[in-house]
Amino acid sequence: MGTAAAPLPDGLRVTVLQNTPEGEPQGQPTHVPVGPDGTFSFEADPDKGHLIGLFYRGAAYSRVLEPGAGEGVELTIFETTTDPSVLKIASDSMTVLQSTAEGQSDVLEILQLLRFHNESDRTFVGSEPPPGAPAESPEQPREVLKLPLPESAFDLAPADPGNNAGLATAGGRLVATSALPPGETSVAYLFKVKVPRSGWQLRRETYYPTDHTDLLVGKRLELGAAPGFEFAESVALGGEEYNRYRSGSTNPGAVLEADIGFAGGGSAEGVWWGLGTLVAALGAVYFAVSIRMRRRKAIDALAGQHGDEPAGDPAESNREELIQQVAALDEKFDSGGLDQESYRAQRSTLLARLSTPAENLE
């Protein structure tokens, strides 16, 4: 129990599933009771991995054991809270690209990345619903987070295939339905907007206290009026240059305003790299994209939702590893543990590998 002064509840049971070396759940789950002292045990096959998890107060907690890991494993659960004051956004990052699709030069493609931080020792499960609101159901899941989305947005999609945040639309709004445990959780999604030749007038509300907001704009776009934003740096990604603008902290209710226009007459010609690569590389840029596909698969399997779906692509695990390496490199540089020249060289090498199609990663 990770919540201070909270007792370990009675009646807990851990669910164990074996999985193949490729990470695919197999066989029937085993349910293991948790003793009064918090211990549980099961017989592990040393040649196979295992998915271990449990649900408590509507939140899922899990661990993935690799083959041969026969040592003790610990699962930490938390009590829950509905108090939104425990949340803040460590960074709000929006990257804007001009579409290269034929006939869509007036369409902008946007990647929104939010790093939420739960500062409490309780899992945040969303605010209490107002009186008279419909009861929670599979068709009407609980809204844990309100997420910013401009009114003109279309083609909305989660940036990670596993939809770890449980993104859904409710009443015309975008929400996350997955509970937020203590610590940091990244939420990322993609959308498009169609704009006139004069550009995009971005107006978007802030829902949670935010440490800073970044706008990353491609070289064929330019930032016009943007109150509170200042140029921070030029960033090279995949051989292309992007300008990053940053604003300071904002409070709930503040409106983000920015006018983004087309540079050089709005030509869409030139070499652009795809949003698939951008999603991966931005994990390095903002030090925070957390891909937890295997963990999500584990919980889906434990909940009996996975059925006989195929296993995850091993190449995605390699890509996740690369993203984690770049994030660690960024953190080392930020803390002063690496000189700028070495940092840029190592980072360029990793980003080049990230721009390689997933099936070619080894």
Domain ranges of the chain: 13-77, 84-273, 293-360
pLDDT tens digit sequence for 129-138? 666 655 555 5
State the pLDDT at residue 132.
62
Would you place residue 321 in the very low, low, confident or very high pLDDT band (cuts 50, 70, 90)? low
- Against a cut of 0.75, is the pTM above it? no
Q: 344-349 long-range contacts, Cβ below 8 Å, gap at least 24?
A: 347/284, 348/236
283 phi/psi in degrees, rounded to 5: -60, -35
Which of the four CATH numbers 3.40.50, 1.10.287, 2.20.25, 2.60.40 does domain 84-273 have? 2.60.40
Whole-number Cα distances in Å, 201 to 196, 223, 224, 246, 281: 10, 10, 10, 17, 26
Place of tokens 């083609």: 155
Tokens of 199: 């550009």
**Average of per-residue pLDDT across 72-84:** 92
pLDDT tens track for 224-244: 889 999 999 988 766 678 899
Q: How far apart are CA 13 and CA 32, in angstroms?
A: 5
> ∠ CA(40), CA(44), CA(298), 5° rounding?
80
